[in-house]
Each structure stands twice: as structure tokens, then as C-alpha cells.
Amino acid sequence: MKKSKDQVSLFKLVFTHNWEDPESDHQALKIQDNESVLAITSGGCNVLGFLLFNPEIIYSIDINPTQSFLLELKIAAIKCFSFEDFITFAGLQEHSDRLRLYEIVRPFLSYEASDFWDSQKKILVRGFIMNGKYERFILLAGKFLKLLQGNKRVQGLLAEKSKEEQETYFDEVWNTKRFHYMFKILFNKRMLAKRGLVAEYFHFDDGSKSFADSFYNRSRKAFRNLPVKDNYFLNLYLSGKFRNKNEVPAYLKQENFDIIKSRVNRIRIITDEAQKWLMTLPENSVDCFALSNICELMSENDTGKLFASVLRTGKNNSRVIFRNLMIPREVPTEFAGQIVKDEPLSWYLYENDRSFVYGKVAAYTLTKYLKHE
């Protein structure tokens, strides 16, 4: 698999969980029956959740082969197991011998995926949830935060409150000097690079005084302004686990399991550069695009190629959700009249996104057929 010289390559399992809020995806994409969706694979959670909207096909693409292998594993386990066995294999419930469960799943994997997972016994024994490089960093950060803030403060922040009570708790109890200190220690270029986000990923800055300040400001919004209830991201960041079986991604809920199982063959897993692979699709063939922070791994030239391919393959009125983590990226100006940003919806998505890490969450619509005066 040959990569563009401008494309940053990743070959380790960075994510086993999606850190993109699926609620933002749903509001931006509004997936309808029998539509086609292109999404970045990442942890595969949101791709599986898209099946609930009955698309005809989902092209799940990632430049990192290990992310493709993860989605293969999740799909194979969904096919093989009952709901209870699936969430046990995933790591939501205790089990003494997950390797035995893996032996049931293994024949349903490609040779490349089984070869990879054969070498990942530690992840399989623990269950794949919260076991990528980024998730292990989050677990470390959560332990460090609990040490700095104390378990009582952490539990206090996670307790359900009114909006006013939550704001007051953050301002008067939570927002300590120690809380600021954590970001300086853990959320800097060197530490994040060690945890799977390679140094080239931080070639640009987002305008903040530092990465620590940027992540602090984002966390403040999530911890202070957004409801704690149903925000499983907040629990993962602070405690490293889900609060209960109801506050989890859609693919881990029992009421969704049979529907997802019946539709998993609609997912086509692709390991390639998105801008390159899109060139293989016919024109006007995709209804929805979920583009996570892949453009930060690209040069501006490749970013232009990506959006040119989005414009060519997308249908008129196709919907796009586009995220950035740190590096500022926007739709290239030459496409601005045809890939049109929905400013009010984008503002709403960013302000209400439950996962605080993204510096940009924005919605666009393709307007391919311009009227000429």
C-alpha cells in the first residue's frame, strides 16, 4: 500500500473507540434509507451505529490497516455471538477466558486481520474497549487527574446536576490550579506523540498559546456547559469506563444489536488514502461523508485533492461532517461555492459536541449545480 509522500502514515492501533460524537454525525448527515455513506473508520463504533439508519452501503476507510482490522474484529464478533457474549468479548462484562471467545471469531477474519490479532493477546484478554494507544493515554490521564483532584471531586463532577449546579461546581470546586497543571503535563506535543499521535501530526498549531491551553478550553466547555447525563465521553475521560450499560455507543446497546447484526454486510472496509480511493468511485454516488480529522495527516495539496473527490463523487445536496483536532483545515476556497458550510448548524454542533477534543466540528452541503446569471 503506497502512501503519498505528504501523507502521514499510522501503523499502530491508535483507537479502539470512536472519539467523534455520533450525535453530531446524526444531526449533520441525516442519513436516510438506502443512502450511501463514506466514513473514516477510526474505532468503528460510529460506522456500526450508522447501520441503524438503514443505509444501502457504508464505505469505511482508513489509512491505518490496524483500524480496519479492529472493525473486522467487531463485525466478526457481532456475527458470531449473542449480545451478551459480544459485550463480554468487547470488555463490558467480566470473563476469565476471552482468548477462547477469540478462537470462535478468528475464522471469520481475513488472513491479515487474524495475523494481527494473533499478536495482540493482551488486548484480547482485556477486551478491546479502551485498549488503543489513545485510550491507554486517556486511562493514564484519568488516573493522574484522580490523583490531583481526588476521587470525591471526580465523583462530584460526574453526578447529575442542574445546569446551574454544574456550572457552579466547575467554577468553585473543580477548576483548581491542579486541574490546569494536568494539561501542561499530559496534553503537550511530546506526550501526545508518545501515545500514538506522531510528531508530524503537530506540524501546525490552532492559534492557542499552547496545546495545553487549547485542550483545557475544550474540556472546560464539556465539563461545565454540557449535561453529564448520557455523556459517555465524560465518563471515559474521567473514570476510564462507561457509567452503565445504557450510556454507551449505539452498537453496544441490546436494543440495537439484532438490527446491526442483520446489516453488517453492508459495510465495506477499505484500507487506503481517502483522496486516492475516492477516485475509484463513480460520479454522484455518495450521499453522506463523515470526514474525521484526516486532513491533519495530509498536506494542503492532498486536502485539495480530497475535497475535489468529495465534490465529484457526492450527489447534489450530499451532506458532509468535517472535523479537525488541532491543525487548522478548511474546505479549499475554490470549492467554497459548491461545498457550502452550514454556519448555524456548525456552531450548534461545536458547542454541543460531547467529546471535547475536537477544535472544529462543522457541517456542509454539496451544491453541485450552480445557477448561472
Does a structural domain hold residue 94? no
Q: What is the total count of domains within the chain?
A: 2
> Rounded distance, CA 318 to CA 29, Å?
8
- Report the amino acid identity of residue 134: Y
Question: What's 37's domain CATH number?
Answer: 3.40.50.150
pLDDT tens readout for residues 148-206:
899 999 999 999 999 999 999 999 999 998 888 887 777 666 666 655 555 444 444 44
pLDDT tens readout for residues 61-73:
999 999 999 999 9
Question: Could you tell me if 342 and 270 lie in one domain?
Answer: yes
Question: Could you tell me if 265 and 161 lie in one domain?
Answer: no
Does a structural domain hold residue 293? yes
Mean pLDDT taken over the chain = 89
Question: Of 206, 239, 272, which marks where a domain is finished?
Answer: 239
**Which segment of 21-35, 106-120, 285-299 scores lowest on mean pLDDT?**
285-299
Cβ atoms of 182 and 141 closer than 8 Å = yes
Question: Of 182, 211, 239, which marks where a domain is finished?
Answer: 239
Q: Could you tell me the pTM of the whole model?
A: 0.90
In the chain, count H helices and then E strands: 18, 7
Question: Could you tell me if 57 and 138 lie in one domain?
Answer: no
Does a structural domain hold residue 321? yes
Does a structural domain hold residue 117? no
Q: Which has more confidence, 168 or 6? A: 168
Predicted pLDDT at 123: 96
Using a pLDDT cut of 90, give the percent of the chain over it.
68
> Rounded distance, CA 284 to CA 286, Å?
6
Question: Could you tell me if 278 and 326 lie in one domain?
Answer: yes
Does a structural domain hold residue 93? no
Question: Of 209, 239, 269, which marks where a domain is finished?
Answer: 239
Q: What is each CA distance from 142 to 189, 240, 265, 358, in whole angstroms? A: 18, 7, 36, 18
Domain of residue 319 covers 22-67+250-366
**Average pLDDT rounded to a whole number, residues 318-347:** 90
Does a structural domain hold residue 245? no
Does a structural domain hold residue 315? yes
> Rounded distance, CA 114 to CA 101, Å?
14
Does pLDDT of 281 surpass 80?
Answer: yes
